Structure 1
């Protein structure tokens, strides 16, 4: 799991990278929660997502948004962070030009950035959004959503109540050509402290299902 340093619009971007197991291995980008709420790339949910893709042979990258850890710059209310994510995806693609698939996975604020990123990157094949903050940010930009994916939230989430997430899920499910899987984990909070095994089970099962339906040659 080598440390990597990328060059972003605000300067240095600190990341962790796991190369794929084959030349055409799919790629996955992992996005961490809100920097102003203590979010960083080593948050347990972000690390869990990273390992889920890494164990399946993906070339996987997680990184710190600007102003976090050794990444330079300052928090930019989501605008600069989206630019950081685009830079990271560019780097992943440049280092894996034969990648069979492209995935974006994010947790909380990272899920919001991830959903914006996939709107700008039509080559994205799948996404994972864990606890997307649908009551804090306007998700109406998902019109239409360009890829199928999984949205996972906690049944006891008081930061983003499930009803707020369901509102966005219901809208996305009216679109043709994509399939949105939606899972609510009973008793899990926004922070998943005692429910990380459910993240592993649900997200891992979803990735396996998608790979089985569309195997890597």
Structure 2
């Protein structure tokens, strides 16, 4: 998995990039948890999602937000991190100009950033969000949500009770033909540390089901 350094809004950003299979491979962007609470691109769940997409032929990028690892800049309350994510997607698309579609996957803080990003980028056709903290972040911008995706939460999440996230998903309006699903992993905490395999089964099952649908089907324009 080659290390990459690319220009970000506040200096260089550090990432890991896996080339896709074929010239027209789809692309996926992975977004890590909160920078001020130990979140990095090498988070185990982010690492596993990165390889989940790579195994399915995607060109995939995970990177450190500003101020994390070798990425320059300072934490910016989510606004700068959203700019980082947009720049990372631009970079990923520059490496894969023929990519037919984009997925974004985020964990906790990264899920909030990823779901903001998909509101701005119509090429994003699917998302996977882990531990989306509906009690900590405002998700009312999903009005309506333009892409289909899944929000996966741990039953024993003490940082964000699953009921609040499920309620957020239930209230999210979607564009015609789009659907946001909610899945709970029994016994899992916010970080899925003891239930990573269970989490990945849900994520992989959803991704495989979506990829089996034709591009012109329910989930794609």
2:181 and 2:168 map into 1 onto residues whose CA distance is 12
Q: Which residue of 2 aligns with 1:211?
A: 211
Given the two structures, how large is their TM-score scaled by the length of structure 1?
0.97
Note the residue ranges of structure 1 that are not aligned, 5 or more in a row.
none
Q: Report the alpha carbon displacement of residue 180 of structure 1 after superposing the two structures with TM.
A: 1.5
1:18 and 1:163 map into 2 onto residues whose CA distance is 36
- The answer on whether the counterparts of 2:188 and 2:194 sit within 8 Å (CA) in structure 1 is yes
Map 1:30-41 to 2 at 5 A: 30-41=30-41
Give the match's secondary structure for 1:183: strand
Tell me the matched-pair count.
216
Map 1:68-79 to 2 at 5 A: 68-79=68-79
1:86 and 1:101 map into 2 onto residues whose CA distance is 15
- The structure, 1 or 2, with the larger RCO (C-alpha pairs under 8 Å, 6+ apart) is 1
- Listed one character per residue, the Cα deviations across residues 54-104 of structure 1 (whole Å, up to 9, x for unaligned) are 111100000000000000000000000000000000011111111122001
User: Which range is displaced more, 53-62 or 92-101?
Assistant: 92-101
Q: Which residue of 2 aligns with 1:47?
A: 47
Give the match's secondary structure for 2:124: coil
Runs of 4 or more, structure 1, over 4 Å off, are none
1:182 and 1:198 map into 2 onto residues whose CA distance is 15
2:215 and 2:148 map into 1 onto residues whose CA distance is 16
1:67 aligns with 2:92: no
- The answer on whether the counterparts of 2:101 and 2:124 sit within 8 Å (CA) in structure 1 is yes
Give the match's secondary structure for 1:125: strand
1:174 and 1:98 map into 2 onto residues whose CA distance is 27
